[in-house]
Amino acid sequence: MEILTPDELKEKYTDPWITPYHEILTVTDTDEEKIELIEYHPCPIGSDWMITQYKQTSPLITDAKRDGNKHTYYVNKGKTELNLKPSYQAAGIQEASIEEDEIRIVHAGLAGAGVGAAFCRGKADGVIRIELLDKGGGSKVGRAAIITPKLKKVIIGLDDTDIPTEGATWTLANNIANEIQEEKGYHYLEHITCQLYPNNPNKTKNCVSIILVFAVKEEEKEDLISSVKSKLKEKTLSENTAFVVYEKLEIPEAVQQYGLEAKKSMKYLDEAKRIAEENNIRVEYVTGEGGLIGALAAIGLYNKPEEYAKVYYEE
Contact assessment for residue 298 and residue 157, using Cβ atoms and an 8 Å cutoff: yes
Strands 2-4 and 129-134: antiparallel
Domains annotated for the chain, with CATH where assigned, are 2-151 (no CATH), 160-301 (3.30.70.2200)
Look at 113 and 34; give whichever has higher pLDDT.
Answer: 34
Rounded average pLDDT over 61-66: 96
Look at 134 and 289; give whichever has higher pLDDT.
Answer: 289
Percent residues over pLDDT 90 in the chain:
80
Torsion from C-alpha of 301, 279, 227, 216, nearest 10 degrees:
-80
Q: What is the mean pLDDT of the chain?
A: 93
Instruction: Quote the pTM value.
Output: 0.92
Percent residues over pLDDT 70 in the chain:
97
State the DSSP code for 263: T
Rounded average pLDDT over 177-191: 97
Rounded average pLDDT over 27-54: 95
Which residues are 188's β-sheet partners?
214
**Residue 281: what pLDDT?**
97
Rounded average pLDDT over 172-180: 98
pLDDT bin (cut points 50, 70, 90) of residue 164 is confident
**Residue 136: what pLDDT?**
67
Residue 192, exposed/middle/buried by CB under 10 A (0-12, 13-18, 19+)? buried
**Lowest mean pLDDT: which of 25-39, 135-149, 209-223?**
135-149
Rounded average pLDDT over 92-103: 96
**Residue 137: what pLDDT?**
64
